[in-house]
Chain A
Amino acid sequence: MEENVITIWNLTKKFGNFTAVDNISFDVRKGEIFGFLGANGAGKTTAMRILCGLSRPTSGEGTVAGYDINTGQEKIKRHIGYMSQKFSLYPDLTVRENIRLFGGIYGLKDREIRVKTDAMLGMLGMQSEKDKFAGDLPLGWKQKLAFSIALIHGPEIIFLDEPTGGVDPETRRRFWEMIYDTAEKGVTVFVTTHYMDEAEYCDRVSVMVDGKIAAMDSPAGLKSGYHARNMDEVFRIIAGRAEREE
């Protein structure tokens, strides 16, 4: 029996006359890697911001981690992790201080933070970098650190907004290994991406076009459904129908 951790019905978000997200509905199952695809301006960031409790929907219902997206935003925030496409740790704090800050924000005790810090630094192989400023790390390391910090409070779901923008293929591959490890521990991964090879790694993907979900299935299902050899072709076929300009 599979359990849904995200359930969304008829979600709509309007900015003035512009409908950024147009009546979308979907479910995400516990422990799966859910890819959220779409061209720039298709509305995926807006949808994701609503799921994270950063923005209120114009209409529609839904639950994230068991809490209502309209009324339970603050409770949602306790049970999710978020990593944005921009590096958003504090560059003028050291690696250790960043870990301590976010641990503290999520209500961890000093002792728990110390234990977590050691475990995290060991896992990332960053023991010798612990007193370096986060801003001075190479981009690949920054992203790994940001990802680990987003998981510091043991969230049920982690939202990744284009997490691998601007890094080399090798670093991307290793980043995805971290994602797999995380999903294996039962954490649901909700990821937006531009890279179609990454879409192949997902358990299921949805493709947003003009604020609507145009297709949603496993990568294999999408490929056979659209008679395409890879996800890149699938995406071109679906997103090619877009009418909205960026």
Chain B
Amino acid sequence: MWKYLLEKEFKQFFRDPGLPRMALMFPVLMMLVFPFAVSMEIRNINLVVVDGSRSEESGRLIEKCTASGYFRLVSVCDSPDEAMRLMDDNKADAIITIDAGFSREVETGTGFPVGIKINTVNGTRGSIGSQYLSSCIRMYMQDRNPSPDAPASPAIDVADRYSFNANMDYKLFMIPALIVIGITMITAFLPALNIVSEKETGTIEQINVTPVSKSAFIICKMIPYWAIAFFVLTACLLIAWTVFGYVCRGRLLWLYLYTTLDIVVMAGLGLLISNYSSNAQQAMFVIWFFAVIFMLMSGIFTPIASMPEWAQTITYFNPMRYYADAMRSVYLKGSTPADIWYDAAGLLAIGAAMAGWAIASYRKSSD
């Protein structure tokens, strides 16, 4: 009996005008387009310099900033007013003002008369821009005073060193998270729509009068999507490796293990959605609702630690939080289930609750 049902589902899947193409396009898009699109790295910050000093020293400082690659020098003005006007016209994101006495004060070491103004209409761009700018100035100062011959102040070298993602590469950070989003879509939302569409056409009724048990029917429906989820996961990892040269730090087995756990949760969710929706429109709305909450409250785009307390509480009920954390930990840090047992526990708890509810409501709806 299972053989025939599975055969039906796979045939229908491959005959669908959109689904097989989507399964192929999904990993390609996710790996080759989205990592660039969702990057939080800020580049091309428009920089205006007010150079009152016009000296060799100020020239060197400006060069240090532009050489970093993050800034685009828009103009070098003489007066602060002129620079401010450029910012008002939205042509400048940052203004660096160098006073007339810059060269002399730097020489003598009495001061460092430099001011920074940042346009923070876009908060992220503003705060990251100011960090970049101050680190450029710091680098300039280090270059000026390598200070081996100035033991007056004990040399404490404060240098940031980033673990696990040494170059703060945002793409590397996003790749496991994008896989999470893709797998969730495929394993929760597509089967839900599929079941609802059988309700709409009435074919599910025909199956219900046969001896096929409902659980067998549903599981056969989900198996193709599980197969596709593992296909997409594998394809994404391969693309990340061949195109970007990223490899998983941890054992691949753990990625697949956590994906399997997530699939269990998502199967419950998908079934739940299809139980409560009698047509595709309703199902789409519910899916949209969950998709948005899952993504925004998962820590994929914004760190959970910087959310307010009450919002952090909500994330504990979000399976994507655990799955995304697990995938990032394994992929970037090489964690093992012993390190991230709590992600497995979270997924299992939500999965059990979801599956229990789904099965209960499924029985009830058939009375």
Contacts and interface: CB of A to CB of B under 8 A. Distances in A.
Interface of A: 52-56, 74, 77-78, 80, 82, 84, 86-93, 97, 100-107, 159
Per CB-CB distance, the 10 closest pairs between chain A and chain B, nearest first, are A104-B4, A88-B206, A86-B202, A82-B209, A88-B202, A77-B211, A105-B210, A88-B203, A78-B211, A101-B8
Given A88-B202, A90-B12, A52 B209 contact: yes
Contacts of B161: none
B208 interface: yes
B211 A100 contact: no
Contact of B8 (A82, A93, A107): A93
Contact of A56 (B8, B206, B211, B367): B367
Interface of B: 1, 3-5, 7-8, 11-12, 15-16, 201-203, 205-213, 366-367
Given A78-B211, A105-B207, 17 more contacts: A55-B366, A56-B367, A74-B213, A77-B209, A84-B202, A86-B201, A86-B202, A91-B201, A93-B12, A100-B4, A100-B7, A101-B7, A104-B1, A104-B5, A106-B210, A106-B211, A159-B209
A165 B55 CA distance: 93
A90 B210 contact: no
A93 B212 CA distance: 19
A107 B213 CA distance: 13
Contacts, number: 70
A84 B205 contact: yes
B209 A80 contact: yes
Contacts of B8: 90, 93, 97, 101
B224 to A, nearest CB: 14
A246 B3 CA distance: 43
Given A56-B367, A93-B12, A107 B1 contact: yes
A54 B210 contact: no
B205 A88 contact: yes
B4 A105 contact: yes
A101 to B, nearest CB: 5
Contacts of B213: 74
B272 to A, nearest CB: 22
A149 to B, nearest CB: 9
A92 B211 contact: no
A36 B3 CA distance: 37
9 contacts: A74-B213, A78-B211, A84-B206, A87-B202, A88-B202, A88-B203, A92-B16, A104-B7, A105-B212
Contacts of A88: 201-203, 205-206
Contacts of B212: 105
Contacts of A104: 1, 3-5, 7
A92 B202 contact: no
**Which label, helix, strand, loop or mixed, suits the secondary structure of the A interface?**
loop
B367 to A, nearest CB: 6
B206 A89 contact: yes
B209 A53 contact: yes
B209 A90 contact: no
B205 A97 contact: no
Contacts of A103: 4
A101 B4 contact: yes
Most A CB within 10 A of own CB, among B202, B211, B212, B367: B211
A92 B209 CA distance: 20
Given A92-B12, A92-B15, A77 B210 contact: yes
Contacts of A100: 4, 7
Nearest to A15: B367
Contacts of A87: 202
Most B CB within 10 A of own CB, among A82, A88, A92, A106: A88
Most A CB within 10 A of own CB, among B4, B212, B213: B4
A82 B211 contact: no
Contacts of A78: 211
B144 to A, nearest CB: 73
B215 to A, nearest CB: 13
A54 B209 contact: yes
Nearest to B12: A92
B367 A55 contact: yes
B324 to A, nearest CB: 35
Contacts of B15: 92
Contacts of B366: 54-55
A93 B1 CA distance: 17
A103 B7 CA distance: 13
Nearest to B8: A101
A107 B1 CA distance: 6
Contacts of A106: 210-211
Contacts of B4: 100-101, 103-105
Contacts of A74: 211, 213
B208 A54 contact: yes
A103 B366 CA distance: 24
A96 to B, nearest CB: 12
Contacts of B202: 84, 86-88
Contacts of B201: 86, 88, 91
B91 to A, nearest CB: 57
Most A CB within 10 A of own CB, among B205, B207, B210, B212: B210
Nearest to A88: B206
